[in-house]
Structure 1
Amino acid sequence: MTAVTTRTVAYPADGLTMTGHLALPSGSGRRPGVLLGPEGPGISDVLRRRADALAELGYVALAFDINGGRWFADPREMLAYVTPMLADPDRMRGIGRAALDVLRAEPRTDPDRIAAVGYGTGGAIALELGRAGEDLRVIGTVNALTTGRPGEAARIRCPVWAGVGSEDPIMPPAQRDAFAAEMRAAGLDWRLVVYGGAQHAFHHPSDPHAVVPGVAYHPRQAGRAWRDVVGLLDECLPVTG
Protein backbone atom coordinates (compact mmCIF):
# COMPACT_ATOMS: atom_id res chain seq x y z
CA MET A 1 0.00 0.00 0.00
CA THR A 2 1.11 3.55 -0.68
CA ALA A 3 0.49 6.85 1.09
CA VAL A 4 -2.51 8.80 -0.13
CA THR A 5 -3.50 12.45 -0.11
CA THR A 6 -7.12 13.45 0.35
CA ARG A 7 -9.03 16.67 0.01
CA THR A 8 -12.60 17.91 -0.18
CA VAL A 9 -13.73 19.26 -3.54
CA ALA A 10 -16.73 21.52 -4.05
CA TYR A 11 -18.47 21.75 -7.42
CA PRO A 12 -21.91 22.68 -8.77
CA ALA A 13 -24.51 20.11 -9.81
CA ASP A 14 -28.30 19.75 -9.69
CA GLY A 15 -28.62 23.35 -8.52
CA LEU A 16 -26.54 22.57 -5.43
CA THR A 17 -22.97 22.86 -4.24
CA MET A 18 -21.74 19.30 -4.06
CA THR A 19 -18.98 18.24 -1.69
CA GLY A 20 -16.90 15.31 -2.90
CA HIS A 21 -14.01 13.42 -1.35
CA LEU A 22 -10.94 13.11 -3.60
CA ALA A 23 -8.22 10.57 -2.79
CA LEU A 24 -4.90 10.67 -4.65
CA PRO A 25 -2.25 7.97 -4.78
CA SER A 26 1.38 8.72 -4.03
CA GLY A 27 3.65 9.89 -6.80
CA SER A 28 3.16 12.45 -9.51
CA GLY A 29 2.17 10.53 -12.64
CA ARG A 30 -1.27 10.06 -14.10
CA ARG A 31 -3.32 7.13 -12.86
CA PRO A 32 -6.67 5.60 -13.79
CA GLY A 33 -9.65 7.21 -12.11
CA VAL A 34 -12.61 5.75 -10.25
CA LEU A 35 -15.86 7.66 -9.80
CA LEU A 36 -17.36 6.32 -6.59
CA GLY A 37 -21.09 6.87 -6.03
CA PRO A 38 -22.87 6.89 -2.66
CA GLU A 39 -26.13 5.43 -1.46
CA GLY A 40 -29.18 7.65 -1.05
CA PRO A 41 -28.30 9.06 2.39
CA GLY A 42 -25.11 10.63 0.98
CA ILE A 43 -21.36 10.29 1.38
CA SER A 44 -20.42 8.36 4.51
CA ASP A 45 -17.09 7.71 6.20
CA VAL A 46 -17.39 4.16 4.83
CA LEU A 47 -17.40 5.52 1.27
CA ARG A 48 -14.53 7.89 2.04
CA ARG A 49 -12.48 4.97 3.33
CA ARG A 50 -13.24 3.04 0.15
CA ALA A 51 -11.97 5.95 -1.92
CA ASP A 52 -8.83 6.04 0.21
CA ALA A 53 -8.38 2.28 -0.20
CA LEU A 54 -8.61 2.63 -3.98
CA ALA A 55 -6.00 5.40 -3.88
CA GLU A 56 -3.74 3.07 -1.93
CA LEU A 57 -4.06 0.66 -4.84
CA GLY A 58 -2.97 3.39 -7.24
CA TYR A 59 -6.27 4.89 -8.44
CA VAL A 60 -7.43 8.49 -8.35
CA ALA A 61 -10.76 8.09 -6.58
CA LEU A 62 -13.56 10.62 -6.26
CA ALA A 63 -16.43 9.83 -3.90
CA PHE A 64 -19.08 12.09 -5.39
CA ASP A 65 -21.97 13.84 -3.72
CA ILE A 66 -25.65 13.64 -4.64
CA ASN A 67 -27.28 15.60 -1.80
CA GLY A 68 -25.46 18.93 -1.63
CA GLY A 69 -23.33 17.87 1.33
CA ARG A 70 -26.26 16.60 3.37
CA TRP A 71 -26.58 13.25 5.13
CA PHE A 72 -30.11 11.88 5.46
CA ALA A 73 -30.33 9.94 8.71
CA ASP A 74 -34.12 9.59 8.38
CA PRO A 75 -34.94 6.95 5.69
CA ARG A 76 -38.25 8.66 4.90
CA GLU A 77 -36.55 11.99 4.28
CA MET A 78 -33.94 10.24 2.13
CA LEU A 79 -36.56 8.46 0.03
CA ALA A 80 -38.51 11.68 -0.47
CA TYR A 81 -35.34 13.22 -1.89
CA VAL A 82 -33.90 10.41 -4.01
CA THR A 83 -37.08 8.82 -5.40
CA PRO A 84 -37.76 11.68 -7.84
CA MET A 85 -34.07 11.62 -8.79
CA LEU A 86 -34.18 7.90 -9.59
CA ALA A 87 -37.20 8.54 -11.83
CA ASP A 88 -35.33 11.19 -13.82
CA PRO A 89 -32.46 9.72 -15.90
CA ASP A 90 -31.41 13.12 -17.24
CA ARG A 91 -31.10 14.51 -13.72
CA MET A 92 -28.97 11.53 -12.66
CA ARG A 93 -26.77 11.98 -15.72
CA GLY A 94 -26.29 15.65 -14.90
CA ILE A 95 -25.18 14.82 -11.36
CA GLY A 96 -22.86 12.10 -12.62
CA ARG A 97 -21.37 14.19 -15.43
CA ALA A 98 -20.56 17.06 -13.07
CA ALA A 99 -18.57 14.67 -10.87
CA LEU A 100 -16.98 13.02 -13.90
CA ASP A 101 -15.82 16.43 -15.11
CA VAL A 102 -14.15 17.06 -11.74
CA LEU A 103 -12.38 13.71 -11.85
CA ARG A 104 -11.23 14.19 -15.45
CA ALA A 105 -9.93 17.68 -14.67
CA GLU A 106 -7.73 16.43 -11.83
CA PRO A 107 -4.13 16.52 -13.16
CA ARG A 108 -3.34 13.12 -11.65
CA THR A 109 -6.20 11.43 -13.54
CA ASP A 110 -5.75 9.73 -16.87
CA PRO A 111 -8.95 11.10 -18.46
CA ASP A 112 -9.15 8.21 -20.91
CA ARG A 113 -9.12 5.52 -18.20
CA ILE A 114 -12.05 5.98 -15.82
CA ALA A 115 -14.42 3.55 -14.12
CA ALA A 116 -17.75 4.31 -12.44
CA VAL A 117 -18.61 2.28 -9.36
CA GLY A 118 -21.63 3.04 -7.25
CA TYR A 119 -23.78 1.83 -4.37
CA GLY A 120 -27.56 2.21 -4.43
CA THR A 121 -28.42 5.60 -5.92
CA GLY A 122 -24.78 6.13 -6.85
CA GLY A 123 -24.84 2.87 -8.77
CA ALA A 124 -27.95 3.96 -10.66
CA ILE A 125 -26.10 7.14 -11.63
CA ALA A 126 -23.11 5.08 -12.82
CA LEU A 127 -25.42 3.06 -15.06
CA GLU A 128 -27.04 6.20 -16.45
CA LEU A 129 -23.63 7.59 -17.36
CA GLY A 130 -23.10 4.42 -19.36
CA ARG A 131 -26.50 4.67 -21.02
CA ALA A 132 -25.63 8.25 -21.95
CA GLY A 133 -22.62 6.95 -23.85
CA GLU A 134 -19.92 8.31 -21.55
CA ASP A 135 -16.44 6.91 -22.17
CA LEU A 136 -15.92 4.54 -19.23
CA ARG A 137 -13.72 1.47 -18.94
CA VAL A 138 -16.09 -0.43 -16.63
CA ILE A 139 -19.27 0.14 -14.61
CA GLY A 140 -19.81 -1.57 -11.27
CA THR A 141 -22.94 -1.35 -9.13
CA VAL A 142 -24.02 -2.79 -5.79
CA ASN A 143 -27.74 -2.77 -4.92
CA ALA A 144 -28.57 -0.87 -8.11
CA LEU A 145 -30.15 -3.08 -10.73
CA THR A 146 -32.02 -0.17 -12.24
CA THR A 147 -33.19 -0.42 -15.82
CA GLY A 148 -33.07 2.47 -18.27
CA ARG A 149 -35.14 3.88 -21.07
CA PRO A 150 -35.75 1.41 -23.91
CA GLY A 151 -32.74 0.84 -26.12
CA GLU A 152 -30.36 3.19 -24.32
CA ALA A 153 -28.30 0.42 -22.75
CA ALA A 154 -26.89 -0.17 -26.24
CA ARG A 155 -24.92 3.06 -25.74
CA ILE A 156 -22.90 1.48 -22.91
CA ARG A 157 -19.33 1.13 -24.16
CA CYS A 158 -17.78 -1.03 -21.45
CA PRO A 159 -18.33 -4.14 -19.30
CA VAL A 160 -20.98 -3.96 -16.57
CA TRP A 161 -20.78 -5.76 -13.22
CA ALA A 162 -23.60 -5.78 -10.68
CA GLY A 163 -23.89 -7.22 -7.19
CA VAL A 164 -27.04 -7.72 -5.13
CA GLY A 165 -28.16 -9.55 -2.01
CA SER A 166 -30.36 -12.60 -2.50
CA GLU A 167 -32.77 -11.32 0.16
CA ASP A 168 -32.89 -7.70 -1.02
CA PRO A 169 -36.60 -6.71 -1.08
CA ILE A 170 -35.82 -3.49 -2.98
CA MET A 171 -34.06 -5.37 -5.79
CA PRO A 172 -36.11 -8.61 -5.88
CA PRO A 173 -35.80 -11.43 -8.44
CA ALA A 174 -38.15 -9.67 -10.88
CA GLN A 175 -35.86 -6.64 -10.89
CA ARG A 176 -32.82 -8.86 -11.41
CA ASP A 177 -34.56 -10.49 -14.37
CA ALA A 178 -35.43 -7.10 -15.91
CA PHE A 179 -31.86 -5.90 -15.52
CA ALA A 180 -30.47 -9.08 -17.05
CA ALA A 181 -32.90 -8.80 -19.97
CA GLU A 182 -31.78 -5.23 -20.64
CA MET A 183 -28.11 -6.23 -20.58
CA ARG A 184 -28.74 -9.19 -22.89
CA ALA A 185 -30.78 -7.15 -25.35
CA ALA A 186 -27.95 -4.61 -25.56
CA GLY A 187 -25.40 -7.35 -26.23
CA LEU A 188 -23.16 -6.20 -23.39
CA ASP A 189 -20.35 -7.88 -21.52
CA TRP A 190 -22.08 -8.13 -18.16
CA ARG A 191 -22.11 -10.06 -14.90
CA LEU A 192 -24.57 -10.31 -12.03
CA VAL A 193 -23.41 -11.65 -8.67
CA VAL A 194 -26.04 -12.62 -6.09
CA TYR A 195 -24.72 -12.70 -2.53
CA GLY A 196 -26.56 -15.38 -0.59
CA GLY A 197 -28.42 -14.37 2.57
CA ALA A 198 -27.69 -10.66 2.11
CA GLN A 199 -30.32 -7.92 2.22
CA HIS A 200 -30.29 -4.36 0.89
CA ALA A 201 -27.23 -2.24 1.76
CA PHE A 202 -25.50 -5.41 3.00
CA HIS A 203 -22.13 -3.81 2.31
CA HIS A 204 -22.58 -0.90 4.75
CA PRO A 205 -22.35 -1.27 8.56
CA SER A 206 -25.82 -0.67 9.98
CA ASP A 207 -26.81 1.94 12.52
CA PRO A 208 -28.27 -0.17 15.37
CA HIS A 209 -30.59 2.69 16.25
CA ALA A 210 -32.07 2.94 12.74
CA VAL A 211 -33.54 -0.46 11.97
CA VAL A 212 -35.18 -0.59 8.54
CA PRO A 213 -36.86 -3.81 7.37
CA GLY A 214 -34.96 -5.43 4.53
CA VAL A 215 -31.80 -3.43 5.20
CA ALA A 216 -28.98 -5.12 7.10
CA TYR A 217 -25.21 -5.39 7.16
CA HIS A 218 -23.73 -8.75 6.19
CA PRO A 219 -20.01 -8.63 7.08
CA ARG A 220 -18.97 -11.76 5.17
CA GLN A 221 -20.74 -10.81 1.96
CA ALA A 222 -19.65 -7.18 2.33
CA GLY A 223 -16.05 -8.31 2.29
CA ARG A 224 -16.65 -10.50 -0.73
CA ALA A 225 -18.38 -7.70 -2.63
CA TRP A 226 -15.48 -5.33 -1.97
CA ARG A 227 -12.96 -7.91 -3.16
CA ASP A 228 -15.08 -8.41 -6.26
CA VAL A 229 -15.07 -4.67 -6.97
CA VAL A 230 -11.29 -4.52 -6.56
CA GLY A 231 -10.90 -7.55 -8.82
CA LEU A 232 -13.17 -5.96 -11.41
CA LEU A 233 -11.02 -2.83 -11.50
CA ASP A 234 -7.84 -4.87 -11.68
CA GLU A 235 -9.25 -6.75 -14.69
CA CYS A 236 -10.73 -3.83 -16.62
CA LEU A 237 -8.68 -0.88 -15.41
CA PRO A 238 -5.31 -2.13 -14.14
CA VAL A 239 -2.85 0.29 -12.57
CA THR A 240 0.37 0.28 -14.57
CA GLY A 241 3.65 2.10 -14.16
Structure 2
Amino acid sequence: MTTTTTRTVEYPADGLTMVGHLALPAGADRRPAVLLGPEGTGLSDVERRRADALAELGYVALAFDLHGGGRYLSDPEEMLARCMPLLADPDRMRGIGRAALDVLRTEPRTDPDRIAAIGYGTGGAIGLELGRDGADLRAIGTVNALTTGRPGEAANIRCPVWAGVGSEDPIMSPVQWNAFSAEMQDAGVDWRLAVYGGALHAFHHPPVDHPAVPGVGYHARHAQRAWHDVIGLLAECLPLTEHAGA
Protein backbone atom coordinates (compact mmCIF):
# COMPACT_ATOMS: atom_id res chain seq x y z
CA MET A 1 0.00 0.00 0.00
CA THR A 2 1.46 3.36 -1.01
CA THR A 3 1.26 6.19 1.50
CA THR A 4 2.08 9.85 1.75
CA THR A 5 5.68 10.86 2.36
CA THR A 6 7.26 13.91 3.96
CA ARG A 7 10.64 15.56 4.02
CA THR A 8 12.27 18.80 5.04
CA VAL A 9 13.49 21.17 2.35
CA GLU A 10 16.08 23.92 2.73
CA TYR A 11 16.13 27.04 0.58
CA PRO A 12 17.37 30.64 0.87
CA ALA A 13 15.03 33.57 1.54
CA ASP A 14 15.17 36.88 3.43
CA GLY A 15 18.90 36.40 4.02
CA LEU A 16 18.21 33.16 5.92
CA THR A 17 18.23 29.43 5.32
CA MET A 18 14.61 28.43 5.46
CA VAL A 19 13.53 24.92 6.42
CA GLY A 20 10.10 23.96 5.13
CA HIS A 21 7.99 20.83 5.44
CA LEU A 22 7.04 19.13 2.17
CA ALA A 23 4.27 16.52 2.10
CA LEU A 24 3.70 14.35 -0.97
CA PRO A 25 0.64 12.27 -1.81
CA ALA A 26 0.83 8.62 -2.70
CA GLY A 27 1.76 7.79 -6.28
CA ALA A 28 4.22 9.21 -8.76
CA ASP A 29 2.08 11.47 -10.95
CA ARG A 30 1.89 15.26 -10.89
CA ARG A 31 -0.68 16.76 -8.58
CA PRO A 32 -2.10 20.19 -7.78
CA ALA A 33 -0.21 21.83 -4.96
CA VAL A 34 -0.77 24.04 -1.94
CA LEU A 35 1.63 26.55 -0.42
CA LEU A 36 0.86 26.73 3.32
CA GLY A 37 1.92 29.74 5.38
CA PRO A 38 2.12 29.70 9.19
CA GLU A 39 1.14 32.21 11.86
CA GLY A 40 3.69 34.82 12.90
CA THR A 41 5.07 32.45 15.51
CA GLY A 42 6.45 30.38 12.65
CA LEU A 43 6.33 26.83 11.39
CA SER A 44 4.98 24.38 13.97
CA ASP A 45 3.58 20.88 14.10
CA VAL A 46 0.14 22.40 13.49
CA GLU A 47 1.13 23.50 9.98
CA ARG A 48 3.07 20.31 9.37
CA ARG A 49 -0.02 18.27 10.21
CA ARG A 50 -2.11 20.42 7.90
CA ALA A 51 0.34 19.86 5.06
CA ASP A 52 0.21 16.13 5.78
CA ALA A 53 -3.60 16.23 5.73
CA LEU A 54 -3.54 17.97 2.35
CA ALA A 55 -1.19 15.28 1.01
CA GLU A 56 -3.60 12.61 2.25
CA LEU A 57 -6.31 14.31 0.20
CA GLY A 58 -4.06 14.18 -2.86
CA TYR A 59 -2.28 17.55 -2.94
CA VAL A 60 1.43 18.29 -2.86
CA ALA A 61 1.81 20.64 0.11
CA LEU A 62 4.68 22.80 1.34
CA ALA A 63 4.43 24.41 4.77
CA PHE A 64 6.97 27.21 4.52
CA ASP A 65 9.31 28.76 7.04
CA LEU A 66 9.15 32.37 8.23
CA HIS A 67 12.12 32.80 10.54
CA GLY A 68 14.93 30.60 9.24
CA GLY A 69 15.97 27.20 10.49
CA GLY A 70 12.33 26.24 10.91
CA ARG A 71 12.24 28.24 14.15
CA TYR A 72 9.06 28.63 16.18
CA LEU A 73 9.03 31.87 18.20
CA SER A 74 7.18 31.11 21.42
CA ASP A 75 8.14 34.43 23.00
CA PRO A 76 5.57 37.08 21.96
CA GLU A 77 8.08 39.95 22.07
CA GLU A 78 10.52 38.11 19.84
CA MET A 79 7.70 37.21 17.44
CA LEU A 80 6.47 40.81 17.22
CA ALA A 81 10.00 42.15 16.76
CA ARG A 82 10.40 39.83 13.78
CA CYS A 83 6.92 40.08 12.26
CA MET A 84 5.96 43.75 12.57
CA PRO A 85 8.78 45.00 10.30
CA LEU A 86 8.06 42.11 7.93
CA LEU A 87 4.35 42.93 7.69
CA ALA A 88 5.27 46.55 6.94
CA ASP A 89 7.47 45.53 4.01
CA PRO A 90 5.52 43.97 1.10
CA ASP A 91 8.68 43.32 -0.89
CA ARG A 92 10.20 41.24 1.92
CA MET A 93 6.98 39.27 2.27
CA ARG A 94 6.91 38.65 -1.46
CA GLY A 95 10.52 37.51 -1.38
CA ILE A 96 9.79 34.94 1.33
CA GLY A 97 6.68 33.78 -0.50
CA ARG A 98 8.31 33.63 -3.92
CA ALA A 99 11.23 31.57 -2.63
CA ALA A 100 8.87 28.99 -1.13
CA LEU A 101 6.65 29.06 -4.20
CA ASP A 102 9.67 28.35 -6.41
CA VAL A 103 10.52 25.31 -4.28
CA LEU A 104 6.97 24.02 -4.57
CA ARG A 105 6.70 24.75 -8.30
CA THR A 106 9.93 22.91 -9.12
CA GLU A 107 9.01 19.82 -7.08
CA PRO A 108 8.62 17.03 -9.68
CA ARG A 109 5.30 15.91 -8.19
CA THR A 110 3.79 19.41 -8.54
CA ASP A 111 1.62 20.47 -11.45
CA PRO A 112 3.19 23.94 -11.75
CA ASP A 113 0.10 25.43 -13.39
CA ARG A 114 -2.20 24.43 -10.51
CA ILE A 115 -1.06 25.92 -7.19
CA ALA A 116 -3.00 27.62 -4.39
CA ALA A 117 -1.73 29.60 -1.41
CA ILE A 118 -3.30 29.11 2.02
CA GLY A 119 -2.02 30.99 5.05
CA TYR A 120 -2.62 31.98 8.64
CA GLY A 121 -1.71 35.36 10.13
CA THR A 122 1.65 36.46 8.71
CA GLY A 123 1.66 33.45 6.38
CA GLY A 124 -1.71 34.53 5.03
CA ALA A 125 -0.48 38.07 4.50
CA ILE A 126 2.38 36.63 2.46
CA GLY A 127 -0.11 34.70 0.33
CA LEU A 128 -2.05 37.88 -0.36
CA GLU A 129 1.14 39.72 -1.30
CA LEU A 130 1.98 36.96 -3.76
CA GLY A 131 -1.39 37.59 -5.36
CA ARG A 132 -0.84 41.35 -5.44
CA ASP A 133 2.52 40.64 -7.07
CA GLY A 134 0.77 38.76 -9.88
CA ALA A 135 1.80 35.23 -8.91
CA ASP A 136 0.09 32.51 -10.94
CA LEU A 137 -2.19 31.03 -8.29
CA ARG A 138 -5.53 29.26 -8.59
CA ALA A 139 -6.78 30.39 -5.16
CA ILE A 140 -5.71 32.34 -2.08
CA GLY A 141 -7.13 31.53 1.34
CA THR A 142 -6.27 33.38 4.54
CA VAL A 143 -7.27 33.23 8.19
CA ASN A 144 -6.53 36.20 10.48
CA ALA A 145 -4.84 38.08 7.63
CA LEU A 146 -7.12 40.86 6.41
CA THR A 147 -4.16 42.95 5.35
CA THR A 148 -4.37 45.58 2.64
CA GLY A 149 -1.68 46.25 0.07
CA ARG A 150 -0.21 49.14 -1.83
CA PRO A 151 -2.74 51.14 -3.84
CA GLY A 152 -3.83 49.49 -7.08
CA GLU A 153 -1.84 46.28 -6.68
CA ALA A 154 -4.81 44.09 -5.76
CA ALA A 155 -5.78 44.35 -9.43
CA ASN A 156 -2.92 41.90 -10.06
CA ILE A 157 -4.75 39.14 -8.18
CA ARG A 158 -5.85 36.59 -10.77
CA CYS A 159 -7.74 34.07 -8.63
CA PRO A 160 -10.53 33.82 -6.06
CA VAL A 161 -9.71 35.01 -2.54
CA TRP A 162 -11.32 33.59 0.60
CA ALA A 163 -10.64 35.15 4.00
CA GLY A 164 -11.72 34.11 7.48
CA VAL A 165 -11.66 36.12 10.71
CA GLY A 166 -13.00 35.83 14.25
CA SER A 167 -15.69 38.34 15.19
CA GLU A 168 -13.91 39.11 18.48
CA ASP A 169 -10.40 39.35 17.04
CA PRO A 170 -8.89 42.58 18.44
CA ILE A 171 -5.93 42.38 16.08
CA MET A 172 -8.04 42.16 12.91
CA SER A 173 -10.81 44.64 13.72
CA PRO A 174 -13.92 45.51 11.66
CA VAL A 175 -12.05 48.57 10.40
CA GLN A 176 -9.59 46.19 8.74
CA TRP A 177 -12.42 43.96 7.46
CA ASN A 178 -13.91 46.97 5.71
CA ALA A 179 -10.59 48.15 4.26
CA PHE A 180 -9.79 44.66 2.97
CA SER A 181 -13.27 44.23 1.51
CA ALA A 182 -13.10 47.60 -0.23
CA GLU A 183 -9.66 46.81 -1.68
CA MET A 184 -10.82 43.47 -3.07
CA GLN A 185 -14.10 44.89 -4.42
CA ASP A 186 -12.48 47.91 -6.04
CA ALA A 187 -9.95 45.64 -7.76
CA GLY A 188 -12.66 43.37 -9.18
CA VAL A 189 -11.39 40.33 -7.26
CA ASP A 190 -13.64 37.31 -6.75
CA TRP A 191 -13.60 37.47 -2.95
CA ARG A 192 -15.37 36.12 0.12
CA LEU A 193 -15.14 36.98 3.81
CA ALA A 194 -16.25 34.56 6.54
CA VAL A 195 -16.72 35.93 10.06
CA TYR A 196 -16.71 33.28 12.79
CA GLY A 197 -18.91 34.44 15.65
CA GLY A 198 -17.28 34.68 19.07
CA ALA A 199 -13.81 33.69 17.84
CA LEU A 200 -10.59 35.47 18.82
CA HIS A 201 -7.34 35.88 16.89
CA ALA A 202 -5.65 32.59 15.94
CA PHE A 203 -8.88 30.74 16.78
CA HIS A 204 -7.83 28.04 14.32
CA HIS A 205 -4.60 27.17 16.14
CA PRO A 206 -4.78 24.45 18.82
CA PRO A 207 -3.38 25.55 22.18
CA VAL A 208 -0.34 23.30 21.91
CA ASP A 209 2.79 25.50 21.73
CA HIS A 210 0.60 28.61 21.60
CA PRO A 211 1.81 31.77 23.42
CA ALA A 212 -0.51 33.36 25.97
CA VAL A 213 -1.31 36.66 24.27
CA PRO A 214 -4.38 38.83 25.03
CA GLY A 215 -7.00 38.50 22.32
CA VAL A 216 -5.68 35.13 21.16
CA GLY A 217 -7.62 31.94 21.77
CA TYR A 218 -8.54 28.60 20.29
CA HIS A 219 -12.12 27.88 19.23
CA ALA A 220 -12.48 24.19 18.42
CA ARG A 221 -15.76 24.34 16.47
CA HIS A 222 -14.74 27.32 14.36
CA ALA A 223 -11.27 25.87 13.80
CA GLN A 224 -12.93 22.83 12.24
CA ARG A 225 -15.32 25.00 10.24
CA ALA A 226 -12.50 27.18 8.91
CA TRP A 227 -10.56 24.08 7.83
CA HIS A 228 -13.65 22.78 6.02
CA ASP A 229 -14.01 26.15 4.32
CA VAL A 230 -10.38 26.01 3.19
CA ILE A 231 -10.86 22.50 1.81
CA GLY A 232 -14.01 23.73 0.05
CA LEU A 233 -12.03 26.54 -1.58
CA LEU A 234 -9.47 24.03 -2.83
CA ALA A 235 -12.17 21.66 -4.07
CA GLU A 236 -13.70 24.53 -6.06
CA CYS A 237 -10.54 26.10 -7.46
CA LEU A 238 -8.07 23.21 -7.45
CA PRO A 239 -10.15 20.04 -7.95
CA LEU A 240 -8.15 16.86 -7.72
CA THR A 241 -10.10 15.24 -10.54
CA GLU A 242 -8.35 17.54 -13.01
CA HIS A 243 -4.78 16.85 -11.91
CA ALA A 244 -2.25 15.84 -14.51
CA GLY A 245 -2.33 12.10 -15.11
CA ALA A 246 -5.91 11.67 -13.85
Do Structure 1 and Structure 2 share a fold, with TM-score over 0.5? yes
| 1:25 corresponding residue in structure 2 | 25
Deviation per CA, 1:60-112: give whole Å up to 9, x if none. 00000010021111111100001000000000000000000000010000000
| 2:5 corresponding residue in structure 1 | 5
Quote how far apart the aligned CAs of 1:208 are.
8.4
Deviation per CA, 1:147-180: give whole Å up to 9, x if none. 0000000000000000000000000100000000
Question: What is the CA–CA distance in structure 1 between the aligned matches of 2:209 and 2:104, rounded to whole Å?
Answer: 34
SS in 2 for 1:175: helix
Question: What is the CA–CA distance in structure 1 between the aligned matches of 2:218 and 2:29, rounded to whole Å?
Answer: 37
Amino acid in structure 1 at the alignment position of 2:183: E
Question: What is the CA–CA distance in structure 1 between the aligned matches of 2:191 and 2:25, rounded to whole Å?
Answer: 29
Quote how far apart the aligned CAs of 1:206 are.
1.9
Amino acid in structure 2 at the alignment position of 1:225: A
Residues 179 and 26 of structure 1, relative CA distance in 2, 3 Å threshold: same
Amino acid in structure 1 at the alignment position of 2:43: I
TM-score (norm 1): 0.98
| 1:54 corresponding residue in structure 2 | 54
SS in 2 for 1:176: helix
| 1:67 corresponding residue in structure 2 | 67
Identity %: 78
| 2:39 corresponding residue in structure 1 | 39
| 1:172 corresponding residue in structure 2 | 173
Does the CA-based 8 Å contact 2:144-2:172 persist in structure 1? yes
Question: What is the CA–CA distance in structure 2 between the aligned matches of 1:47 and 1:208, rounded to whole Å?
Answer: 12
| 2:139 corresponding residue in structure 1 | 138
After superposition, where does 1:182-201 map in structure 2 within 5 Å?
182-201=183-202
Q: Which runs of 5 or more residues in structure 2 are unaligned?
A: none
| 1:105 corresponding residue in structure 2 | 106
After superposition, where does 1:92-241 map in structure 2 within 5 Å?
92-207=93-208, 210-240=211-241, 241=246
Aligned positions, number: 240
SS in 1 for 2:145: coil
Quote how far apart the aligned CAs of 1:209 are.
8.1
Residues 217 and 6 of structure 1, relative CA distance in 2, 3 Å threshold: same
Question: What is the CA–CA distance in structure 1 between the aligned matches of 2:226 and 2:233, rounded to whole Å?
Answer: 10
Residues 50 and 208 of structure 1, relative CA distance in 2, 3 Å threshold: closer
Quote how far apart the aligned CAs of 1:211 are.
2.2
Quote how far apart the aligned CAs of 1:205 are.
1.2
SS in 1 for 2:240: coil
TM-score (norm 2): 0.96
Residues 160 and 208 of structure 1, relative CA distance in 2, 3 Å threshold: closer
